[in-house]
Amino acid sequence: MSEALIFDAVRTPRGKGKKDGSLHEVSPVHLLKNLFDAVQTRNELDTSQVDDVVLGCVTPVGEQGADIARTAVIYSGWDERVAGVTQSRFCASGLESVNLAAQKVRSGWEDLVVAGGVESMSRWPMGSDGGAMAMDPRVNDAMGFAPQGIGADLIASIEGFSRDDVDAFAVRSHQRAAAAREDGRFGKSLIPVRDVNGLVVLDHDETIRPDSSTEALGGLKPSFEQMGQMGFDDTALAKYPTVESINHVHHAGNSSGIVDGASLVLIGSEDKGKALGLKPRGRIVSTAVTGTDPTIMLVGPGPSSKKALDKAGMKASDIDLFEINEAFAAVVLRAVRDLDIDIDKVNVNGGSIAMGHPLGATGAILMNTVLDELERQDKQTALITLCVGGGMGIATVIERV
Amino acid sequence: MAANMKEHTDLGGDAIRVEQDDKGILTLTLDMPGRSANVLNDQFSVPFAALIERIESDDSVTGVILTSGKKNFMVGADIDGLFAVTDPAVALQMAGDFKAMLRRLECCGKPVVAALNGSALGGGLELALACHRRIAINDPKAKMALPEVKLGVLPGGGGTQRLPRLIGIQAALPLLTEGKELSPEKAAKQGFIDELADDADDMMRRARKFIEGVIESGQPATQPWDQKGFKFPGGDSKHPAQGHMWPIAPAMMNQKTRGNYPAPRNIMSAVYEGGLVDFDTALKIEGRYFAELVVSQESKNMIGTLWYQFNKINKGESRPQGVEPGQVKKLGVLGAGMMGAGIAYVSAKAGIEVVLKDVEQAGAEKGKAYSEGLEDKAIQRGRSTPDRKKAILDRIKPTADVADLDGCDLIIEAVFEDRELKGKVTEETEAVMDPKGVFGSNTSTLPITGLATRSSRPDQFIGIHFFSPVEKMPLVEIIVGEKTSDETLARAFDYVQQIRKTPIVVNDSRGFYTSRCFATYVMEGIAMLAEGQHPRAIEQAGLKAGMPVGPLALEDEVSLSLSLHVMDQTRKDFEAEGKPYAPHPAEPTVRKMVEELERPGKKAGKGFYDYPEGGKKRLWPGLAEHFPLADEQLSQQEMVDRLLYAQANETARCFEEGVVTTAADANIGSIFGWGFAPFHGGTLQFTNSVGGPAAFVSRARELAGRYGDRFAPAAILEKMAESGDRFEAS
């Protein structure tokens, strides 16, 4: 059985996901083309050798619809024999792409696969694809549907995370991201987005606030209090009957940012790597997905990480660095508790609160960020995990080679 | 208008009068013989189908006016037909036939006007919605509604599809899921009544004018949804405006239903899915959800109790036969506290002259001021007028003078729950009141037979137990003492109906029926707390069980000190009678809360909850210390069962002991009196709802094994489990 080796990992900077965001003027396919170009050039890649492109996209409608993976392959001028598939595992889609690619390679049925994802949240807002989960009343009812933010606030209520706790974590994210950017730690993977003329549109993560403070965040109004009172709080409390009330602590400043961005990872077998002269940087050790209660929705990182660690025959203490997606501050704090790990090993260069969470792309971004950091610190192992819509969780263990 | 009529046909059978005028307009007057109201049944639909055939094929027919010869237009479907159906395929067919008929009517090409001379409810309104125009007499008392949800079903005649297509999804949903009743004026504002008429003539004139207009246009009459390019007002289910509403709609619904009511859920489904497809497919979708509801246990429970048994009560099933109906003319209320003041208000509102007596004139005045406050609020909300307020207040005479009770034909005493005091006021009042009048006691705990010993006319003495707040609670529990005469019972019964409340009749016993069974709910909650169950989980289980308030919150409202007082009194009485007293396992906790922890309830600002000023109540954090959590925490379902079985089993015991004598009184009493889960159809129907006495007995034994003898099934249920009998379900 071949190892699934990571040869390269790239990403775009993340642009604010609104009309005034720098990447709003860039189409999602063009975001991807920037990265396809980079992967081809950096690796002097004969693209005909790539079997498949697996991309995550959570809102695959409009110009993100109709299999944007295959669309981007052709638009980027790669060999027409390269296939493409687009999938959604909600927020895990980017990492799901990595895991699927690794499974394709480890099965021996494919040799070289590009994995990644894309999301232009400014152009195709979250939820614009509908879905029975929220929209169909009887499905919604059967699930005990509540928006993510209610789940995050429920976690904080159960765990006793105060507004100060979650705000302090948000400040940490910004401070670490700012320091990492200052230190040039993102340089290895970050590919500036250029227009059709080759002119740079954006070359840095746009939403980091180096001056973020708990004082400033303290002034923000909780985002989910009103909808909670309209009914969602009771949905949550009915499932968690010992919780006295929902403490609404999350707001725009301690939740992941809405941004535009894309990411790609080149994954292949040892033989293919040797044949093409690709230098392996790491390997995918194990992967896991799992499901938990869909109402609290965001507690999947703990159990999915344990599952991936079990599969690898490892313990959390064997991991040098963790990337736990900062969907909401409480999600990370809860996962740290569930895994009983030192928070200083977690999201050392900041995360989605500071830099944003382009839904379909994030998982692969986290992977390339932590791989870069392993190399910088000369450490060996990392675990990437995300909470996922519908109550799922995903995790991937990687190791440098 | 009769002058214009040129033809009479008998195509309408005896249910529909058919007349055609010289312009070819056919007037169909629904007037079902032997009934006070038109309903949707075969007697109507067989001739109606034949008439539709004629409308379609007879070229002389230019248009149709549908109206009624009764006070109301049509008040709904025939419940008997619906209640009997247990096969979903039959329900589907039933609704399908009706819808096919309506579809033919609205697609006939000729203008059809619903001339609504009175209320159009349920199937009656659905019939009107299938017409091309709805013109209603602007009578504020007429009601336009689709109330099917209240009986656990949905409007299966296309109502869930036509209404949203007429007025928009967001406007239609509350009307469908809550069954709200609108006056014609409000219905017109909502957009499903097209014109308001001053009177019947004006209505018919407008109807003809509309039809003539359509004829002149030369275009066939069509429904909006059958026109090309039709758009839902405000957008269909895919529209972004709805995209924000659908995700939260179930959560908002569940705040009220706690997942216990399939009808509003299916209504939402019919509207949502119907809003994604064409009209005819939408009707099919509605039909499947309708059929599921018709055969559901919940609808059988709700129809059986809230329709059949409720009607039995109102028709006087528990009222002695052969006593002439009577009306109270002058009521004396003793004690102007919250209960007395409320009784005075509802009685004055019903047109009865009231003497409100208290020890001090000031107390009596304060009691009268309660009515003033309620009327002021009603005026603010547009439910009363200054004239009405004045008339009501003029009927209430506050006094401290017992002589003012002269001539009262009914007395209701609502003084403090103290035997001696009650005895004293009985004696002094009987001296001045109408000697033929009835003396009623509003006691909630003291046996009537005992109180009657202080009466010189014990046969005219009876318990008339109101619930608080009187102006809101629909039930009155009438308690028959050992010597109470039939005549007295009939008087009390008639009085309760006179003030437009629902009377149940029970026999004398400690706590009577409602207080005794209600107590098992709160006590079971407190027992679980004492066992170390999480208090919040207990409260959630209460709501999930379908009760309006959790047991601990409810006990705070009632007040723990009052419960303790009743327990102590009961113990004393038992000791005096030489009977063994077995305290409920909750009793030590109630005592501890009152005596040791000094938390007597909401009034004191502290009970199981804290009541911060201006803030929301919150479970007292000290509970965690005084009632530490047990290692084993029960599932919500286990708690729900304990809370419901305790009440149902106690009700069965009351039935066995003859305290309640009809299933109707027991079921309606439990729902209207203390809010027992309506979807189970009441406390006795609960035994049917869970699968019948055998299933109940088996589960109750299980609970008895775990939690104590109070769950040991009542002997009557054990007998029924063996014989296969059930409590009356309709």
pLDDT in tens, B583-615: 999 999 999 999 999 999 999 999 999 999 888
**Which of A135, A136, A235 lies closest to B254 in CB terms?**
A235
What value does the mean pLDDT take over residues B128-152?
97
Tokens encoding B4: 């214009």
Residue A7's pLDDT band (boundaries 50, 70, 90)? very high
Mutation target vs B (from A239, A242, A245; most B CBs, 10 A cutoff):
A242
| pLDDT (0 to 100) of residue B240 | 85
Mutation target vs A (from B254, B261, B271, B533; most A CBs, 10 A cutoff):
B254
Catalytic residue among A30, A250, A251, A357: A357
DSSP designation for B109: S
| pLDDT (0 to 100) of residue B1 | 36
What are the pLDDT digits (tens) for A262-304?
999 999 999 999 999 999 999 999 999 999 999 999 999 999 9
Residue B241's pLDDT band (boundaries 50, 70, 90)? confident
Say whether residue A138 is in contact with chain B using an 8 A CB cutoff.
yes
Tokens encoding B669: 């009493």
Secondary structure of B14-82 as H, E, C letters: CCEEEEEECCCEEEEEECCCCCCCCCECHHHHHHHHHHHHHHHHCCCCCEEEEEECCCCCECCECHHHH
- Helices (runs of H) and strands (runs of E) counted in chain A: 15, 12
Say how many CB pairs under 8 Å bridge A and B: 80
Cα-only R_g, chain B: 29
Tokens encoding B320: 């002695």
d(CA B585, CA B582): 9
Minimum distance, in Å, between the CA of residue A262 and any CA atom of chain B: 27
Say whether residue B542 is in contact with chain A using an 8 A CB cutoff.
no
What are the pLDDT digits (tens) for A119-157?
999 999 998 899 999 999 999 999 999 999 999 999 999
d(CA B508, CA B482): 7
**Which of A127, A232, A244 lies closest to B536 in CB terms?**
A244
Taking CB atoms and an 8 Å cutoff, what residues of chain A touch B273? 136
User: Residue A399 in contact with residue A283, Cβ under 8 Å?
Assistant: yes
Say whether residue A131 is in contact with chain B using an 8 A CB cutoff.
no
A227 to B272: CB separation less than 8 angstroms, yes or no:
no
Tokens encoding B384: 């009363």
A241 to B534: CB separation less than 8 angstroms, yes or no:
yes
Residue B13's pLDDT band (boundaries 50, 70, 90)? confident
What value does the mean pLDDT take over residues B449-457?
95
| pLDDT (0 to 100) of residue B3 | 39
pLDDT of B275 > 60? The answer is yes
B246 to A137: CB separation less than 8 angstroms, yes or no:
yes
Q: Which residues pair with B502 in a beta bridge?
A: B475
Say whether residue B248 is in contact with chain A using an 8 A CB cutoff.
yes
B243 to A137: CB separation less than 8 angstroms, yes or no:
no
- Is A57 designated active site? no
| pLDDT (0 to 100) of residue B96 | 96
What are the pLDDT digits (tens) for B519-540?
999 999 999 999 999 999 999 9
Say whether residue A160 is in contact with chain B using an 8 A CB cutoff.
no
Share of chain A above pLDDT 70, in %: 100
**Other Cβ atoms closer than 10 A to B566:** 20
Mutation target vs A (from B173, B534, B540, B610; most A CBs, 10 A cutoff):
B540
Residue B9's pLDDT band (boundaries 50, 70, 90)? low
Minimum distance, in Å, between the CA of residue B255 and any CA atom of chain A: 6
Interfacial B residues in 632-671 facing A (CB < 8 Å): 633, 636
d(CA B108, CA B48): 14
Say whether residue B247 is in contact with chain A using an 8 A CB cutoff.
yes
Compute the mean pLDDT over every residue in chain B, rounded to the nearest whole number: 95
A68's CB contacts (< 8 A; 6+ apart) are A28, A29, A32, A55, A57, A60, A84, A86, A118
d(CA A376, CA A372): 6
| Reported pTM | 0.93
User: Residue B590 in contact with residue B561, Cβ under 8 Å?
Assistant: no
d(CA A44, CA A25): 29
Say whether residue B537 is in contact with chain A using an 8 A CB cutoff.
yes
Say whether residue A314 is in contact with chain B using an 8 A CB cutoff.
no
pLDDT of B135 > 70? The answer is yes
B251 to A242: CB separation less than 8 angstroms, yes or no:
no
Say whether residue B231 is in contact with chain A using an 8 A CB cutoff.
no
User: Residue A340 in contact with residue A316, Cβ under 8 Å?
Assistant: yes
**Which of B238, B248, B537 lies closest to A230 in CB terms?**
B248
pLDDT of B616 > 80? The answer is yes
Taking CB atoms and an 8 Å cutoff, what residues of chain B touch A134? 246-247
Beta-strand pair B63-68/B475-480: unpaired
Taking CB atoms and an 8 Å cutoff, what residues of chain A touch B253? 137, 141, 231
pLDDT of B14 > 90? The answer is no
Catalytic residue among B132, B465, B534, B680: B465
Minimum distance, in Å, between the CA of residue B534 and any CA atom of chain A: 6
Minimum distance, in Å, between the CA of residue B553 and any CA atom of chain A: 13
Say whether residue B172 is in contact with chain A using an 8 A CB cutoff.
no
Say whether residue A125 is in contact with chain B using an 8 A CB cutoff.
no
Say whether residue B154 is in contact with chain A using an 8 A CB cutoff.
no
Catalytic residue among A91, A174, A248, A251: A91
